[in-house]
A and B are shown apart, each in its own frame.
Chain A
Amino acid sequence: MIEQQAVTYAHKEAVRYNGTSITYEQLNEASNQLAALILSNGIQTGDSVGLLVDRSQNMLIALLAILKCGAAYIPLDPEYPKQRIIYMLENSGAKLVLTEKKYSGHFISHANELLLEDAIEKAKTFPASNPARNVTGADLAYIIYTSGSTGNPKGVMVEHHSIVNLLWYLRSTHEINERDRLLAITTISFDIAVLELFLPLICGALVVITDAKVSRDGFELLEIIQKEKINLMQATPVTWKIMLAAGWEDKIDLTIFCCGEALSIDLAMKLVQRCSSLYNYYGPTETTVYSTGTQIHLSDKIITIGKPLANTQVYILDEDLQLLPADTVGEVYIGGQGVARGYMNMPELTAERFINDTFSTGNDQKIFRTGDIGKWTGDGTIYLMGRADHQIKIRGFRIEPGEIEACLLTQPGIRDALVIAREDTPGNKSLVAYIICTTRSKDPAGNIQKWKRSLQHSMPDFMIPPEFVLMDSFPLLPNGKINRAALPKPEKRLHAGNGKIAEHDTSMEKLVTAIWAELLGIDDVGLDEDFFDLGGHSLIAVQIMTRLEKETGKRLPIAALFEASTIRKLSLFLEVGDVATLWESLVPVKASGHRPPLYIVHGDGLNVMVFNSVPKHMDAEQPVFGLQPRGLNGIDDPDESMEEIAANYVAGILKHNPEGPYFLAGYSFGGIVAFEMAKQLKAAGHEVKMLAMFDTSVGNINYTGSKAKRLWEKIMLQFPKMLFIGGSLFKYPGSVLSYQGFVVKRKWHTLMSKLGLAKESEEMPDYQKRIIEKQALAFQNYNMTPYDGTIDLFRVRERVYFLDDPIYLGWKNLSTKGISIHQVPGDHRTFLLPPYDKVFAQSLQSTIDERANDQ
């Protein structure tokens, strides 16, 4: 088919990569020549050829060449462990591996190695005509290895006719033609890449290939879509999310295929509003890329995977392989043209998963058992509910959590539900339902009773979860899947990082409740009901804050009610404010959440506000506290040495959170303080899970150099930046004032009011200059020795000033376990501000998640 397009569109651009492009004719001729060369190496129809190359035009030429030989390609990702690549080559019996110089000798196997650069050069002497091979639909096109849940990866063998069936269907359904431009971002070791690379080529369209780096960068993706006028793109939900996080707001003339993972209603609605059309496609590798699909509309209330594509059958069966009626949950089986030949050299597993199709009339047809759980909806579409391997056995009963979740999702007040089995006490496994509510109920306990009662109508007792946990959101893994391991234990769900605060007596809550009830005119306000959902507005907010000041003597900014908008949170705010006076340094940026808190050390006196937008884009259960220098209140003396500064902060943290583990970070100068704190905590036997630097540079300091020299170097490194940041805040007193909602201490508040009135002046108050002088002195006398742990270095992309060591910012030799670099958009100042704050916050959260799971 592509050969045909090569004639029709001979001089039209076929592939573009990194600014260069080749025409259909050039693509076809180059792949013909390479095919001839491969055939001359003894490859025959039915053989398989490994392909281990970076993304480029050559990758596509090589793919086509292998197919033209009648051989099957095996995509090998350079990022895979060598052991895995060797297994794939051995399992498949590949005779040849096409690779690039840089990966030459990457593995040892009996397959011959052919270097693509040399081969393409050499192939120029071979005939450019289409090879005289008659490739049939029953020949293998590719073998893609997917991870097995146990043991070795499985090589899925896909035949040509399966691909042709899919591509024809998509071409006619979406009327793709020579004017279309598709962006190909997916690694070829994921089968959906087949669609990206071949669909445009059979339609005479243009395929624009991105490299692996661009594929993972939301900003770059948005840019290339605009620049290349892309109008068709396929990706998994994670990619769409990073594009949204990169500030995608405007509508783009883009048709979207979303696949590979469940598409949530939230994401779908965001995408629908930003693209010209959105399609949700579903299919396992074993049934060739897509098996079902549907267009998503703004009016959709649930997201289904639609109906089977052409020449595809879907069956939902019970354990005895009997067809199930609509609305009954069973396992999804897929038959038709897309079904693969089986797993390479794994006859037993093939027989287990590819079973005889007893529902169709054809001979020898197979259907594939997907392991996915779902049901037919009333209108003939399929609603997926999860994986069969999440099945639970409790007291001998087989339980399908997806079924309980689906039933919960039909209950009023539930937006999302997740059911798992926990074994918090050994030998005592029980079900827990995690619920995200649509509304903040005044009576959560009553609601849980109601939900349990409705479950009892439709399922046996052993399926009713005894425990329910209400959550704002589910914890996520870096790949966007739910982090089941991070779900909290039901009985120990605290509302602050510190158990003491949550267990504190509730006289404050009683007081706040009484005031709200009176001023809102509602008698039965629940602890977790939102002020604004109760009909609250700013005039009432003023009344509440005035009354609270009168009763408690604590003056909170009115805007605090926008952040702490429930009785529970507001009471906590008032209490933390109280407790916080015990240690001068600790300021809650966001106090609530059950996860271990993150402590951030500020670089200069003002930065507590700089972090305010960060928690908004982090896990709802992630508390964040800031550590500010002593002396900022203008009364206390600043600390003298780095060790002293760190010791003071450590004392504050230990008081707040005696058990740990600890997650520390520092911004600019604060990174060096955090570094010393981590060392002190470790020396005292505490567990430090994460030590992160927010663009802190220690430059190429000569650690043994003379004091005078070091002083000069160090000061030049940090302080001009700090002054810059300080200065910029003075210029915008409006935004300074509006951030007051997050600041709870009265002294701080008073200070900020003063600063807010400082107009355009860049003059610092004397006590602040004093702090900076003291910090400079502490830095000068600080002798840095390596830290026994990993350092996570968040490094900004844009560098507006010169650095000696732009890669490691001088940290490389200061860690015994290595530096993990996280590149974030923006510059030293703007990476904390919209629109970049979101990407930074998400990167920070996933690093925390990752470090939390480190052993």
Chain B
Amino acid sequence: MSIISVPDLTTIEWQPLADHTFTLLDGIDVVRVNIDTASSFFSEMLLPDEVQKMERFRNLQSRNQFLTSRGAVRYLSAKYTGREPLEFSWNEGPNKKPHWQNPGNELYFNIAHSGSYVVICFGRTEMGIDIERIQNEFAYEEILNRCFDIDEINAIRDAPEPLAVFYLLWTRKESLLKAVGMGILDDLTKVSCINDVYTTEAGDEWLLNSFVMEDNYLLSLACKAGTGLIRYWDFG
């Protein structure tokens, strides 16, 4: 196998969040927030220990990424549940997968950030999300053996745009590992994401949805087969 079956890499249509009624049935909402324009909106939405954590980051970009990620997930969780942003207790499961200790009802989320964007997905079952800004000079070749199996490596090398396929497979793998709560493994090569459905040993099927965003970001979302409609919202 040398040619990857690339799913629909079309540009997503992002609806303004202002139009959102925050009803969430069986589907998934993906919300993107632009760190450069929106981070200050969240400055009052962190708990003291989160502020401490934020202040540990070396550079402003990382701080704003943290502020936006944590603030936005609090703000949006509050919208879904009719509660206050600071009421939620952050908790991390094995492999650092975050969840609310006290979501009120079944509210799952997952967060990723890269460059100027934080993306958060909300749903009623486990999912995982990853975003990477495509860096044209990225030395992907030297880490191929560490991350991918032979089919994946061939698919990358044979592609007309190897870098794009590298990011595609990387974000898929990350979103899948985050979805199943495995965190980063040393055996990345064992989790082949060459197909857009990944079947675990237990027989669970995970759908891997990937998109290009604004020409220079790759976004992947891993969700269980049978999950409803995915909607995309722009925080603005």
Cβ–Cβ < 8 Å partners of A266 in chain B: 49
Is A440 located at the chain interface by the 8 A CB criterion?
Answer: yes
Q: Within the complex, what minimum Cβ distance (angstroms) separates B172 from chain A?
A: 13
Q: Within the complex, what minimum Cβ distance (angstroms) separates A296 from chain B?
A: 12
A738-B59 in contact given A249-B91, A298-B86 (Cβ < 8 Å) = no
Closest A residue to B58 by beta carbon equals A534
Cβ–Cβ < 8 Å partners of A738 in chain B: 94-95, 182-183, 185
From 8 to 53 in chain B, residues with beta carbon under 8 angstroms from any chain A beta carbon are 47-49, 52
Which of B52, B55, B143 contacts A543, CB < 8 Å? B143
What is the count of residue pairs linking A and B with beta-carbon distances less than 8 angstroms?
Answer: 95
Is A749 located at the chain interface by the 8 A CB criterion?
Answer: yes
Cβ–Cβ < 8 Å partners of B132 in chain A: 539
Is B147 located at the chain interface by the 8 A CB criterion?
Answer: yes
Bound: A301/B52 CA distance, A: 11
Q: Indicate if the CB atoms of A756 and B187 lie closer than 8 Å.
A: yes
Bound: A785/B122 CA distance, A: 62
Q: Indicate if the CB atoms of B56 and A533 lie closer than 8 Å.
A: yes
Contact with B along A550-564 (1 / 0, CB 8 A): 100000011100100
Q: Within the complex, what minimum Cβ distance (angstroms) separates B97 from chain A?
A: 11
Q: Indicate if the CB atoms of A250 and B101 lie closer than 8 Å.
A: yes
A535-B62 in contact given A541-B184, A558-B185 (Cβ < 8 Å) = yes
Q: Within the complex, what minimum Cβ distance (angstroms) separates B202 from chain A?
A: 10
From 725 to 749 in chain A, residues with beta carbon under 8 angstroms from any chain B beta carbon are 734-735, 737-738, 740, 749
Bound: A813/B219 CA distance, A: 65
Q: By CB atoms of chain A within 10 A, which of B57, B187, B190 has the most?
A: B187
Bound: A757/B187 CA distance, A: 10
Is B204 located at the chain interface by the 8 A CB criterion?
Answer: no
A273-B89 in contact given A529-B58, A533-B57, A749-B186 (Cβ < 8 Å) = yes
Q: Indicate if the CB atoms of A539 and B170 lie closer than 8 Å.
A: yes
Q: Indicate if the CB atoms of B146 and A269 lie closer than 8 Å.
A: no
Q: Indicate if the CB atoms of B184 and A559 lie closer than 8 Å.
A: yes
Which of A265, A546, A759 contacts B201, CB < 8 Å? A759
Q: Indicate if the CB atoms of B47 and A737 lie closer than 8 Å.
A: no
Q: How large is the interface on A (under 10, 10 to 19, 20 to 34, 35 or more residues)?
A: 35 or more
Q: By CB atoms of chain A within 10 A, which of B62, B184, B201 has the most?
A: B184
A557-B186 in contact given A440-B56, A535-B62 (Cβ < 8 Å) = yes
Cβ–Cβ < 8 Å partners of B216 in chain A: none
Q: Within the complex, what minimum Cβ distance (angstroms) separates B133 from chain A?
A: 11
Is A547 located at the chain interface by the 8 A CB criterion?
Answer: yes
Which of A251, A542, A737 contacts B102, CB < 8 Å? A251
Q: Within the complex, what minimum Cβ distance (angstroms) separates B159 from chain A?
A: 19
Contact with B along A368-382 (1 / 0, CB 8 A): 000000000000000
From 239 to 292 in chain A, residues with beta carbon under 8 angstroms from any chain B beta carbon are 249-251, 265-266, 269, 273
Cβ–Cβ < 8 Å partners of A269 in chain B: 47-49
Bound: A550/B139 CA distance, A: 15
Q: Indicate if the CB atoms of B58 and A535 lie closer than 8 Å.
A: yes
From 56 to 93 in chain A, residues with beta carbon under 8 angstroms from any chain B beta carbon are none
Is A331 located at the chain interface by the 8 A CB criterion?
Answer: no
From 73 to 104 in chain B, residues with beta carbon under 8 angstroms from any chain A beta carbon are 86, 89, 91, 94-96, 101-102
Cβ–Cβ < 8 Å partners of A440 in chain B: 56
Is A136 located at the chain interface by the 8 A CB criterion?
Answer: no
Is B61 located at the chain interface by the 8 A CB criterion?
Answer: yes
Q: Indicate if the CB atoms of A547 and B62 lie closer than 8 Å.
A: no
Is B142 located at the chain interface by the 8 A CB criterion?
Answer: yes
Bound: A756/B187 CA distance, A: 10
Is A439 located at the chain interface by the 8 A CB criterion?
Answer: yes
Q: Indicate if the CB atoms of A438 and B146 lie closer than 8 Å.
A: no
Bound: A740/B174 CA distance, A: 18
Q: By CB atoms of chain B within 10 A, which of A299, A535, A756 has the most?
A: A535
Closest A residue to B174 by beta carbon equals A538
Q: Indicate if the CB atoms of B187 and A753 lie closer than 8 Å.
A: yes
Is A621 located at the chain interface by the 8 A CB criterion?
Answer: no
Is A530 located at the chain interface by the 8 A CB criterion?
Answer: yes
Closest B residue to A530 by beta carbon equals B56
Bound: A145/B182 CA distance, A: 56
Q: Within the complex, what minimum Cβ distance (angstroms) separates B109 from chain A?
A: 18
Closest A residue to B86 by beta carbon equals A298
Q: Indicate if the CB atoms of B146 and A737 lie closer than 8 Å.
A: no
Q: Indicate if the CB atoms of A735 and B94 lie closer than 8 Å.
A: yes
Q: Within the complex, what minimum Cβ distance (angstroms) separates A835 from chain B?
A: 12
Q: Indicate if the CB atoms of A533 and B49 lie closer than 8 Å.
A: no
From 166 to 202 in chain B, residues with beta carbon under 8 angstroms from any chain A beta carbon are 170, 174, 180, 182-188, 190, 201
Cβ–Cβ < 8 Å partners of A522 in chain B: 58
Which of B61, B142, B174 contacts A546, CB < 8 Å? B142
Q: Within the complex, what minimum Cβ distance (angstroms) separates A441 from chain B?
A: 10
Q: Indicate if the CB atoms of B186 and A538 lie closer than 8 Å.
A: no
Cβ–Cβ < 8 Å partners of A529 in chain B: 58
Q: Indicate if the CB atoms of B146 and A542 lie closer than 8 Å.
A: yes
Cβ–Cβ < 8 Å partners of A542 in chain B: 143, 146-147, 184, 188
Closest A residue to B90 by beta carbon equals A273
Q: Indicate if the CB atoms of B55 and A439 lie closer than 8 Å.
A: yes
Contact with B along A799-832 (1 / 0, CB 8 A): 0000000000000000000000000000000000
Is A677 located at the chain interface by the 8 A CB criterion?
Answer: no
Q: Indicate if the CB atoms of B201 and A737 lie closer than 8 Å.
A: no
Q: Within the complex, what minimum Cβ distance (angstroms) separates A803 from chain B?
A: 31
Q: Indicate if the CB atoms of B57 and A535 lie closer than 8 Å.
A: yes
From 676 to 734 in chain A, residues with beta carbon under 8 angstroms from any chain B beta carbon are 734
Bound: A559/B142 CA distance, A: 19
Which of B61, B182, B186, B201 contacts A558, CB < 8 Å? B186
Is A545 located at the chain interface by the 8 A CB criterion?
Answer: yes
Cβ–Cβ < 8 Å partners of A538 in chain B: 174, 184
Q: Indicate if the CB atoms of A533 and B58 lie closer than 8 Å.
A: yes
Q: Indicate if the CB atoms of B95 and A298 lie closer than 8 Å.
A: no
Q: Within the complex, what minimum Cβ distance (angstroms) separates A757 from chain B?
A: 8
Q: Indicate if the CB atoms of A535 and B59 lie closer than 8 Å.
A: yes
Bound: A535/B185 CA distance, A: 20
Bound: A543/B143 CA distance, A: 6
Bound: A622/B186 CA distance, A: 27
Q: Within the complex, what minimum Cβ distance (angstroms) separates B176 from chain A?
A: 13
Q: Within the complex, what minimum Cβ distance (angstroms) separates A551 from chain B?
A: 12
Cβ–Cβ < 8 Å partners of B139 in chain A: 543
A546-B146 in contact given A737-B187, A738-B94 (Cβ < 8 Å) = yes
Which of B56, B86, B102, B182 contacts A250, CB < 8 Å? B102
Q: Indicate if the CB atoms of A558 and B101 lie closer than 8 Å.
A: no
Show 5 A/B contacts (Cβ-Cβ < 8 Å), sorted by A: A249-B101, A273-B89, A534-B57, A535-B57, A550-B142
A interface residues with partner B (beta carbon < 8 Å): 249-251, 265-266, 269, 273, 298-299, 301, 415, 438-440, 442, 522, 529-530, 533-535, 538-539, 541-543, 545-547, 550, 557-559, 562, 734-735, 737-738, 740, 749, 753, 756-757, 759
Given contacts A440-B56, A562-B183, A753-B187, 9 further A-B contacts (CB under 8 A): A250-B101, A269-B49, A442-B58, A533-B62, A538-B184, A542-B146, A546-B142, A557-B186, A558-B186
